Amino acid sequence: MLGPPAGTQLQNAVESRHDVLVYSTDALPELGLIMYVHTDAVCTDFTAKLVDVHPNGNAYNLCAGILGRNYQPAVNDGQVPIKIEIDLWPRSNVLMKEHKIRLEVSSSNFPRYDRNPNTGQFIPEATKTVSAKQTVFHSNLLPSH
């Protein structure tokens, strides 16, 4: 439609008619990632990125999230999984026919987010970095999703 009635319009009156069938999903949850992880670092990041994969294989980022936090060494020594949640920040995208959605999980997303030295030091003043061994668990008991 062109002119003043164009655009988004309230549909409740149309949907209440006896000649219109209406199908609705349950309320959609926030988009995020729940993972069961282990790290040997005192403080580290986990990142997630939602990606639109085109039919030719090109992959374009849609949105991303990060969780940086401290981990208790005593818990980590026993390889005890820790549940973490990463919010995938606001996004809007139309997925075209034959496109795929991909999830990338990492321990960094530089330069979008600052590097984490994995030492627990104040990041802007940190001069030493250490490698962190990260584990993401996937099982019936630890359903990362």
Would you kindly state where each structural domain of the chain is located, as residue ranges?
A: 33-137
Give me 22's structure tokens: 């209406």
Give me the pLDDT at residue 78, please: 63
What is 33-137's CATH number? 2.60.120.260
User: Which pTM does this prediction carry?
Assistant: 0.76
How open is the CA angle 125-134-50, to the nearest 5 degrees? 90
CB 70 within 8 A of CB 120: yes
**Residues 63-83 pLDDT 10s:** 899 999 998 764 556 678 999
Cα–Cα distance measured from residue 12 to residue 121, given in angstroms and rounded to the nearest whole number: 55
Give me the pLDDT at residue 132, please: 92
- Tell which residue, 108, 99, 27, 114, has the closest CA to residue 62: 99
Give me the pLDDT at residue 2, please: 59
Q: How far apart are the first and last CA of the chain?
A: 42
**Residues 25-49 pLDDT 10s:** 787 677 889 999 999 999 999 999 9
Q: How many residues does the chain have?
A: 145
Give me the pLDDT at residue 54, please: 93
Question: Per mean pLDDT, which range of 4-13, 79-88, 103-112, 126-135 is the poorest?
Answer: 4-13
